[in-house]
Amino acid sequence: MIDRISRRELLSAGAALSAAALLPTSASAQGKQLVAATFPGTWNEAHRQYLAPAFTKRTGASVTQSILLGNDQLSRLTAAKGGKPPFDVALFDRPQVLDAAKQGLIVEYPAAKSANYKDVLPEFQDKWGPCISMQIIGIGYNPKKIKTPPTSWDALWDPQFKGRIGLTALNSQLGIAFLAEINRLRGGNEENFEPAFKALKELLPNVGAIGANLGAYATLWQQEQVDIAPYNFNFVQTLKGKDVPVELSIPSTGPVGWTTSMHLVANAAEPDLAVQYIDTHLDQAVQSAMLKPPYDVIPTNSKVQLEGAITTSIATSHADLAKVRSFDWEKLNPQRGALIERFNRDIKM
Amino acid sequence: MNLSDIKLVLPLTALFAVFFIAPLCVLIIMSLSTDAEMHAFTAAHYVKFFGDAFNYSILWSTIWLGVKATLVCLLFGYPIAWIAARAKARWQSVLLFLVILPIMTSVVVRTFSWIVILGRQGVLNQIVLGLGLTDEPLRLLFTETGVIMVLAQVQMPLMVLPILTVMSKTDPNLADASRALGAGEWRTLWKVTLPLSLPGIIAGCVLTYSACVTAFVTQTLIGGARLVYMPLHIYQQAVGANNWPFAAAISVVFMVAVLIIVGVLGALGRKSETYARP
Amino acid sequence: MPAPRHAIDWEAASLRIVFVTMTVFAMVFLIAPTVIVLITSLTASESLKFPPPGLSLRWYYALLDADQMQRAAWNSLVIAVWTTVISVVLGTAASIAIARGRSKWIKACDLLFMSPLLLPALAFGFAALVYINKLGLSPSVPLLVLGHVIVCVPFILRTTVAALSQLDSALLDASHSLGGSQWMTFRRITLPLIAPGLGSGAFLAFMASFDNVPVSLFLADERNEVLPIHLWQQIDTNLDVRTAAASGLIVIFTLALMLIAERLAGFTRQMR
């Protein structure tokens, strides 16, 4: 077939394509664009599948996702402070909200411009930005290898799991929350992390792999390189949807979690679009869609009833959600850098 | 140097001056600054780099990684070049096409395929376990061995092409003469072919080494962020920790290290070319 | 002398056998990953298991909805075209001077232009970002193109200088003595003769820009996403099979371009 297309035709086709590519593409020709940050894993997938289309339908603008962990979003915003921020909508876990507000990286949420805000449950409303969900951690395990669901965090220290445990680095909230919970159970508090590090040192013989980031962590589960490890409720549901053998068990000490919220970044390029984006996430239809498997995103809109895996493992009603235990992030935040450094140096395989 | 030469080379030189030399100068100045605003100057970052065993070990493991990966490329790249040089024209084209194709494919794509292959349930382990070669699945992903394997595949064409170029230009009579004088094939290889192809080997090693050591995507995707080499270290400090002066210092150290090694290899290459001259 | 001849034959065969075996192994090693990713992208399931449980084109269809990926691909294409055009114009001019020149200044320029190939591109990318920042600018498409030109122009220089050095200078002299101007000699004589070499270099530069990660990592911001970085972000954050489909498309695209380059410019011959 190549023989029949003459050299001349190929060259002119190439020239035409190049000419098209060289034409300047102005922003107006493409329609407006909003850059919004989102977390890796469940979050960027759920946002891409449900939130982005609903937003585009509502405003006609397109969304570009910037996939970053909360801490990385903070550093990017700090680096760009004073100038144009790299994204207009930030997705933060509770700890980062406090830091961001203090540094002036986000602005107060204009609730008046947000139609769905009034439907958000009172405990999830906040002047800096509404909570769009909660994240819960528990013990993830491979049901093919472990027949009875573990009921306590101590199961991780069981010698029968030698080399089968997974851990995640402290750059993600999952890592920090796990550390804080172990710390609390072993007698420490937000100012004293010695019990936690002592416990992790004892855990080391059992550790088979340490995932440097959430993507690597997911790969470890998919390749069945770990059998039991701390994990997020949402990520487990999403992996299950991808045929990865994993289940989540909430230990008898109760579910531990934190809120996740969206914020308007200071000096945003498209502040109105940003508010519309956040408002779309509060919408009843969008939250109901994300509630379904494989995302199982815990809703914060009072009109959305809990259902599915959430009711079987975590909470049967909105009142239960308010009781999920969290930590004193104000006290914990300043130590985060030191904790990460200590983890990287001491907890090595 | 006449006027028309100057006019021809000026535009590109101007671009390089403004967008290559100038940024490198700014980088060096940044590495000697106390903070990103470059208010005052200090050598503290270099002291920190060479003083801390953690940093120093990253440099060392990166250099060593390059050596190992280059040797693997040489071990398998040389036979490919040898066969290709002696193949008929049509087969040579096909062989070259297949050798060049990987290097033209996006490095992200190629590294991604290795993630699929190297995992615990991946193809490699399926084959190895199925053939009964080992009892336990091989742990290759997120290990240095895995990184070396993938680097070898990704950069091998850079080793094959220069060797092939030199071999194509080598007088075949020399090898024939060796055989006519009674030396066997292996001896001919060792005493005649290898020395004559040495410039190509060294050129290949220079290109391959340089590419392996700076292969950010492969090192990071296969090594996982726990195996930190120099490129990732620079990136983590520059973007993750926002520590521009320190990141600049690491960059300068890295560049100087690569330049030294490449310079030494290049000098060896020029010396080896004297072997081929009558 | 039948006995010695037998011994030599066996010995010769042993070298061939070893080398052929190693070559076959190495070629499989080189090609297999690309083939495997192509097959994996045709999986009917949601996971990246190989061999795939069933075959289907569903993930290629899913790419039709991947708005962000399409935007990134278009950005990469536009940037690669601009980079190639600028590199060809500036690089060809410089190549002529380099192929001709014997002065040490020209040799120094040659070394300068080739140095981006040897220096860590990541360090250059970071240096460029710092530089732009100090100038008060922020990353944008034109600056990203300039960054790509720096790291891609060496490819054009290498093949074009090689092609120019094989030109018979008698041809150029003949053209001048017949009254041809510099420009006309270049357009009518030189250019057609070096076209395969120049074309191969342009192809290499185009692919180098399209696939570039180290420079784009620093100079491409979220609003101007490029494809390799987008794909990498996807690989790093989730196990989406769409990444495999996108990879499959890139492989097919590269293969097609290489076949065209081979047909038009005898690409593999230029590489020797």
Domain locations in chain C as residue ranges = 67-270
Measured distance CA(B247)–CA(B261) in Å, rounded:
21
| C271 to chain B: closest CA residue | B161
Calculate ∠ Cα B101-B104-B110, nearest 5°: 85
| Preferred mutation among A51, A66, A171, A234 to probe C, highest tally of C CBs within 10 A | A66
Beta bridge partners of A192: A189
Domain count of chain B? Answer: 1
Bridge-based pairing of strands A131-141 and A165-168 is unpaired
Beta bridge partners of B41: B33
Residue B171 placed within a domain: yes
What values do phi and psi take at A301, rounded to 5? Answer: -80, 125
Calculate ∠ Cα B249-B250-B256, nearest 5°: 90
* C47 lies within 8 A of chain A by CB: yes
At the topology level, CATH places domain C67-270 in MetI-like fold (1.10.3720)
Residue B258 domain boundaries: 52-276
Answer whether B206's CB lies under 8 Å from B59's CB.
Answer: no
Distance in Å, alpha carbon of A314 to nearest chain C alpha carbon = 25
* C48 lies within 8 A of chain A by CB: yes
Return the higher-pLDDT residue of A53 and A224.
A53
Which residues of chain C have a CB within 8 Å of the CB of B27? 123, 126-127, 130-131
Which residues of chain C have a CB within 8 Å of the CB of A214? 237
pLDDT at A102 over 70: yes
Cβ of B83 within 8 Å of Cβ of C23? The answer is: yes
- List the pLDDT tens digit at each of the 278 positions of chain B: 577 788 889 999 999 999 999 999 999 999 998 877 777 888 888 888 888 888 888 999 999 999 999 999 999 999 999 888 888 888 888 888 888 888 778 888 888 888 778 766 677 777 777 787 776 666 777 788 889 988 988 888 889 988 888 888 887 788 788 878 877 778 888 888 888 888 889 889 998 999 999 888 888 888 876 788 999 889 888 887 778 889 999 999 999 999 999 889 888 877 877 765 55
Give the lowest-confidence range in A6-20, A262-276, C54-68: A6-20
Distance in Å, alpha carbon of A5 to nearest chain B alpha carbon = 21
Return the higher-pLDDT residue of B135 and C232.
C232
Q: In chain A, at which residue ranges do the beta strands (DSSP E only) sit?
A: 33-38, 62-67, 89-93, 106-107, 131-141, 165-168, 207-211, 228-232, 247-249, 256-265
* C138 lies within 8 A of chain A by CB: yes
Measured distance CA(B255)–CA(C122) in Å, rounded:
10
Measured distance CA(C267)–CA(C256) in Å, rounded:
13
Residue B227 placed within a domain: yes
Measured distance CA(A223)–CA(C48) in Å, rounded:
10
Distance in Å, alpha carbon of B244 to nearest chain C alpha carbon = 8
Residue B225 placed within a domain: yes
Contacts of A305 (CB under 8 A, 6+ apart): none
Res A29: pLDDT: 37
3 state DSSP class of A156: helix
Cβ of A223 within 8 Å of Cβ of B242? The answer is: no
**Residues of chain A contacting B, Cβ within 8 Å:** 72, 75-76, 78-79, 169, 209-213, 216, 219, 222-225, 345
Answer whether A141's CB lies under 8 Å from A236's CB.
Answer: no
| Neighbour tally for B256: CB within 10 Å | 10
State the burial class of residue C176 (Cβ atoms within 10 Å of its Cβ: 0-12, 13-18, 19+): middle
Measured distance CA(C227)–CA(C63) in Å, rounded:
13
Using the structure block, give the residue that is written with the tokens 């139609």.
A115
* B126 lies within 8 A of chain A by CB: no
Residue from the list B27, B117, B235 with its beta carbon closest to the beta carbon of C127: B27
Using the structure block, give the residue that is written with the tokens 């993600």.
A172
Closest CA to B119 of A141, A162, A221: A221
Contacts of C136 (CB under 8 A, 6+ apart): none
Measured distance CA(A24)–CA(C58) in Å, rounded:
34
pLDDT in tens, C88-127: 999 999 998 888 877 888 889 998 999 998 889 999 999 9
> Is the Cα dihedral B158, B160, B162, B165 positive or negative?
negative
Cβ of C268 within 8 Å of Cβ of B11? The answer is: no
Residue from the list B106, B123, B235 with its beta carbon closest to the beta carbon of C228: B106
Residue B220 placed within a domain: yes
State the burial class of residue C4 (Cβ atoms within 10 Å of its Cβ: 0-12, 13-18, 19+): exposed
Beta bridge partners of A139: A230, A249
What ipTM score was computed for the predicted complex, to two decimals?
0.86
| C252 to chain B: closest CA residue | B105
Which residues of chain C have a CB within 8 Å of the CB of B92? 268
Which residues of chain A have a CB within 8 Å of the CB of B119? 219, 222-223, 225
Measured distance CA(C156)–CA(C251) in Å, rounded:
23
Query: Chains A and B: how many Cβ contacts under 8 Å?
Result: 37
Residue B26 placed within a domain: no
pLDDT at A2 over 50: no
Which residues of chain A have a CB within 8 Å of the CB of C233? 67
Here the CATH number for the domain that contains residue B84 is: 1.10.3720.10
Answer whether B218's CB lies under 8 Å from B108's CB.
Answer: no
Bridge-based pairing of strands A106-107 and A256-265 is antiparallel
Closest CA to A275 of A111, A91, A139, A148: A111
Look over chain A and give the mean of its residue pLDDT values, rounded to a whole number. Answer: 84
Measured distance CA(B185)–CA(B40) in Å, rounded:
65
Residues 125-184 of B with CB under 8 A from C: 152-153, 156-157, 161, 164-165, 168, 184
* pTM to 2 decimal places: 0.83
Find the mean pLDDT for residues C158-184.
82
What values do phi and psi take at A300, rounded to 5? Answer: -120, -5
Q: How confident is residue A1, by pLDDT bands cut at 50, 70 and 90?
A: very low
Contacts of A147 (CB under 8 A, 6+ apart): none
The conformational region for residue A282 under phi > 0 = left, psi -120 to 50 = alpha, else beta, is alpha
Cβ of C238 within 8 Å of Cβ of A41? The answer is: yes
Distance in Å, alpha carbon of C205 to nearest chain B alpha carbon = 10
Upstream peptide bond of A294 is cis (omega within 30 degrees of 0): yes
Residues 51-70 of C with CB under 8 A from A: 67-68
Answer whether A54's CB lies under 8 Å from A83's CB.
Answer: no
Using the structure block, give the residue that is written with the tokens 């979220």.
C222
Measured distance CA(A157)–CA(B113) in Å, rounded:
35
Q: In C31-182, at which residue ranges do the beta strands (DSSP E only) sit?
A: none
Answer whether C96's CB lies under 8 Å from C185's CB.
Answer: no
pLDDT in tens, A126-153: 889 999 998 889 999 999 888 888 889 9
Answer whether B45's CB lies under 8 Å from B246's CB.
Answer: yes
Chains in contact with chain C (at least 3 beta-carbon pairs closer than 8 A): A, B
Which residues of chain C have a CB within 8 Å of the CB of B189? 15
Res B135: pLDDT: 67
| Preferred mutation among B108, B226, B228, B239 to probe A, highest tally of A CBs within 10 A | B226
